[in-house]
Amino acid sequence: MSDTAPRIELHAEDVAPGDERADGREIVEGLRGYLVGFALATLITVVAFFIAQTTLVWRPSIPIALFVLAIAQMGVHLVFFIHITTGPDNTNNILALAFGVLIVFLVIGGSLWIMSNLNHNMMPMDQLMQMQR
């Protein structure tokens, strides 16, 4: 760099998340967050296996309970491992997550709509069998 080139001074706001200097306390707090997330994820997994294998739970409610536990598991992973929070510095992460969820729902909804439409317009099986003879 030449002496005539302007110098760029970095401020605290110019540092990307994860590039800050970490002292011992921040490392311990980060590790504690990962361990809490690991414990919660393990607990949710054990509870899901227990609910699926036990006869203590009313049988028709098992899929609903597993669905709720799956949503909780996704929440634990988003908060503790992917670090998606509602803080002001995570606005883009939340928008990207919302867009991803929208795309997934559009793909699933579109697929169900197409399969339903094809099933509705399909020739009955007995007529199809008569055509093959």
pLDDT tens sequence across 26-78 = 788 888 889 999 999 999 999 999 999 998 889 999 999 999 999 999 999 98
Distance CA 54, CA 59 (A): 9
Q: What is the mean pLDDT of the chain?
A: 83
Give buried/exposed letters for 3-34 (b at 16+ CB in 10 A, else e). eeeeeeeeeeeeeeeeeeeeeeeeeeeeeeee
Report the SS3 class of residue 5.
coil
- Dump pLDDT digits (tens) for 98-116: 899 999 999 999 999 999 9
